[in-house]
């Protein structure tokens, strides 16, 4: 007899999944708040906390706190791929390619979108860090404070794990509960609007970075507050 409670993917035994049997992954979303937290937020928190511990270790060994910034885009992409592909491969006999083929069009679009965003941002952060050859200036002054590294795990790295767990919910929950999407009569409109919103935001992010780079290369002083930078958060 069904109890009405969802079973988290982590507790499922390994099974042979192929063809129509793959529908066991298309479970309905949990109806209780505790069910939603248990099946979506907690797995993400485990992933991001583990990645934050690794990043903290690397940062402390290298003396560069900016390793935390490298984790911001890469951690969210890794979580999305684990939710979409990794957990299915781990829990079943599916190959990576089979698991990917089982994704629907909207799921593939979502996975492609977050991957494109994450890779672009990671490349920008990494190349800037390598060319600079030292830690981000934002962290130089705080690192001079006594006990910085002992406190950094709790006031820099782990808090971001919490934020990332919340921020990634829109790109992880759909993979864990595909059947909980929008009603069929509105699905096309909602998904189309989502793709348009993402495309507009992604294009604005790229344009903002290009305008900031041009501003710096021109030798101009002060903050750039015109163009796209008149409406985005961090003027440069």
* Torsions phi, psi for 15 (to 5 deg): -135, 160
The four Cα atoms 142, 143, 148, 154 give a dihedral, to 10 degrees, of 70
Q: Which of 59-73, 95-109, 183-197, 218-232 is the least confident region?
A: 183-197
Residues 93-147 have pLDDT tens digits of 889 999 999 998 888 999 999 999 999 999 999 998 999 899 999 999 999 999 9
Report which DSSP code applies to 104. Answer: -
User: Tokens representing 129?
Assistant: 């860090």
For 34-43, letters b (16+ CB in 10 Å) and e give eebebbbbeb
Assess whether pLDDT exceeds 70 at residue 29. no
Write down the pLDDT at residue 148.
95
Cα distances from 41 to residues 12, 92, 155, in angstroms, run 18, 22, 21
For 21-32, letters b (16+ CB in 10 Å) and e give ebeebebebbee
- Measure the CA–CA gap between 25 and 83, rounded to whole angstroms: 11
Q: Which of 11-20, 49-58, 116-125, 224-233 is the least confident region?
A: 11-20
């Amino acid at each position: 007899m069904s109890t009405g409670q969802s079973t988290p993917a982590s507790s499922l035994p390994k099974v042979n999944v192929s063809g129509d049997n793959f529908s066991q992954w298309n479970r309905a979303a949990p109806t209780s708040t505790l069910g939603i937290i248990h099946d979506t937020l907690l797995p993400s928190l485990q992933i991001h906390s583990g990645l934050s511990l690794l990043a903290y270790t690397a940062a402390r060994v290298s003396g560069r706190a900016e390793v935390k910034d490298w984790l911001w885009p890469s951690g969210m992409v890794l979580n999305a791929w684990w939710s979409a592909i990794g957990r299915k491969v781990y829990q079943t006999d599916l190959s990576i390619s089979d698991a990917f083929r089982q994704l629907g069009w909207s799921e593939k679009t979502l996975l492609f979108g977050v991957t494109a965003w994450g890779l672009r941002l990671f490349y920008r952060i990494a190349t800037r860090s390598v060319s600079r050859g030292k830690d981000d200036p934002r962290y130089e002054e705080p690192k001079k404070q006594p006990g910085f590294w002992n406190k950094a795990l709790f006031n820099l790295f782990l808090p971001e794990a919490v934020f990332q767990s919340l921020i990634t919910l829109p790109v992880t929950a759909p993979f864990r509960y595909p059947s909980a999407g929008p009603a069929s009569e509105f699905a096309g409109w909602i998904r189309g609007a989502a793709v348009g919103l993402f495309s507009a935001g992604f294009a604005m992010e790229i344009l903002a970075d290009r305008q900031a780079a041009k501003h710096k290369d021109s030798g101009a002083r002060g903050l750039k507050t015109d163009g796209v930078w008149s409406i985005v958060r961090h003027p440069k």
